[in-house]
Amino acid sequence: MTTANTMPEKAAIRLAELGTDLLTALEREVSAGRPIDAFLANAFRQNRHFGSRDRRFFMQLAFSYFRWRGWIGPGVIANPSISAIAGYLLDAEKDHPAIAVLARDCGMPATELQPLGPMSLNEKSEALKAILDLDAAPSSVDLVPEWTADMLLPQEGTEQSAGLLKFIEAIQTRPPVWLRSRSGKNAPFEKALAKREIEFRKHAFLSDAYAVEAGIRAGEIQRETGYLFEIQDLSSQAVGLVCAPASGEKWWDVCAGAGGKALQLADIAQGNCLVTATDRRPAPIKELRLRAKHAQIACIRPKVVDVVAKPKSDEKFDGVLVDAPCSGLGTWSRHPDARWRTSPEQIKSHAIYQRRILSRAAENVRAGGSLVYSVCTLTTAETIETVAGFLEDHPAFSLQSFPDPLTGNATEGTACIWPWEGPSGGMFIARFTHGG
């Protein structure tokens, strides 16, 4: 195995030992329903001696393992060191000294340890069969929970089994980082990227959307350039474009989180609107206040509000955005551990809660106003069934046609962004109008 990265033998042995222990700890976290990013962040805080190269290795090892866990996880491979090796190789484009140490300790020949990252999904399956001496190549459907086939939203014109395989293939590759240029800032933003020799790809239809490769220190560049752009996934940008707030309008972003969409709504209206942005968690609202300050956007009113528990209000808005909590199937490419922390029961619970949020938010839409519903998931229960249930309960509302944000084609009031479009995260969007 020829190592593209070099480091002292002692350091490689140390990383190999720590990496295997880390995966064992993360497996316990995920089995308990906890996300791995929080555990990793805490581990890095407690171990300040880890350098940037160490952290990158641990992050890649962890996310690769959970991306391919269905092929290499518990019940498939008994030796956690071999699981670590296989997971790393399936994603990697370069080899690593710590993986070479693990392979040597496991008695695996160097000829079997070539990085498999550039291969297709089928090629990776065959390569893993050879590396592990399996009787049969692993199946793509093993890379997601068994319930996925029954709960995944159907794709128009595609048979369900073929749609499932297309979805799985898409989420096995991490999408690029998407940036949104602030309104009217495209030219200086592109100049700033070019100055730093950062390659980018503009979206064919969204003029403010730029794709860059991961690892460019986007937050640092954002600060250095005076906040010419926001870090915002393409699917998230699409939601703001469906809202399309006009100058002078009042909007309410109900589940604003850290405010990516609220900032976009303000930019679309060029600051000439009023955006009330709420979330039931204080920490994201604190972050939103800071982001609005950096971006010099004064028209956003951040508030800590639980929309379901709040008292009824007579305040009316021209538009209300409900980007609801959901099961997050659309995020599985970026957060591969999430697929192993999600259950059908949770999906059903999310769908019930989504209808409650929509019902409360609908109370504050003025006659003739718009209600936009979005979820970064792709289950039938949380998308078309939630929409149908809301319409049944609220006859004053109807679906409102809008141009598909990624193509410009007319819709009948709903749009689905699949992970291979962009590519990006997945998203479902519906727009309703209040008939009065």
Write phi, then psi, for 114 (nearest 5 degrees). -85, 140
Tell how far CA 42 is from the center of its chain. Answer: 21
Residues in the chain: 436
Please name the helix (run of DSSP H) or strand (run of DSSP E) that holds residue 285, with its range, or none: helix 282-294
> What is the predicted pLDDT for the residue at 5?
65
Name, in order, each residue with C-beta under 8 angstroms of 406's C-beta and a sequence gap of 6 or more.
203, 205, 206, 234, 238, 417, 421, 422
Token pair for residue 355? 């209808």
- Alpha carbon distance 107, 158 (integer Å): 45
The CATH number given to 234-434 is 3.40.50.150
- Alpha carbon distance 69, 172 (integer Å): 11
The residue type at 7:
M
- Alpha carbon distance 406, 404 (integer Å): 6
> What's the angle, vertex CA 416, arms to CA 412 and CA 418, rounded to 5?
155
Token pair for residue 161? 């089994």
Taking the C-alpha atoms of 335, 336, 342 and 348 in order, what is their torsion angle to the nearest 10 degrees?
A: 60
* DSSP characters over 95-139: --HHHHHHHHHHT--GGG----TTS-HHHHHHHHHHHHT-SSPPP
- Alpha carbon distance 336, 308 (integer Å): 30
Residue 247: CB atoms within 10 Å: 10
Taking a C-beta distance cutoff of 8 angstroms, is the pair 250, 317 a contact? yes
Write phi, then psi, for 409 (nearest 5 degrees). -70, 145
- Alpha carbon distance 153, 50 (integer Å): 42
* Cα Rg, the chain, nearest whole Å: 23
Residue listed under structure tokens 């000829």: 111
> What is the predicted pLDDT for the residue at 3?
44
- Alpha carbon distance 331, 350 (integer Å): 16
Token pair for residue 297? 């956007």
CA end-to-end span of the chain: 69
> What is the predicted pLDDT for the residue at 1?
44
Residue 155: CB atoms within 10 Å: 16
Q: What is the pLDDT along the chain (436 residues), one digit of tens a residue?
A: 444 467 889 999 999 999 999 999 999 999 999 999 999 999 999 998 999 899 999 999 999 999 999 999 988 888 999 999 999 999 999 989 999 999 999 988 776 788 999 999 999 999 999 988 899 999 999 999 999 999 999 998 889 999 999 999 999 999 999 999 998 899 999 999 999 999 999 999 999 999 999 888 888 999 999 999 999 999 999 999 999 999 999 999 999 999 999 999 999 999 999 999 999 999 999 999 999 999 999 999 999 999 999 888 889 999 999 999 999 999 999 999 999 999 999 999 999 999 999 999 999 999 999 999 999 999 999 999 999 999 999 999 999 999 999 999 999 999 999 999 999 999 999 999 999 7
Tell how far CA 426 is from the center of its chain. Answer: 7
* DSSP characters over 38-75: HHHHHHHHH-TT--HHHHHHHHHHHHHHHHSHHHHSTT
Name, in order, each residue with C-beta under 8 angstroms of 84's C-beta and a sequence gap of 6 or more.
19, 20, 23, 61, 65, 99, 102
Residue range(s) of every CATH 3.40.50.150 domain in the chain: 234-434
DSSP one-letter code for 378: -
Task: Quote helix, strand, coil % in the chain, to nearest 5.
Answer: 45, 15, 40
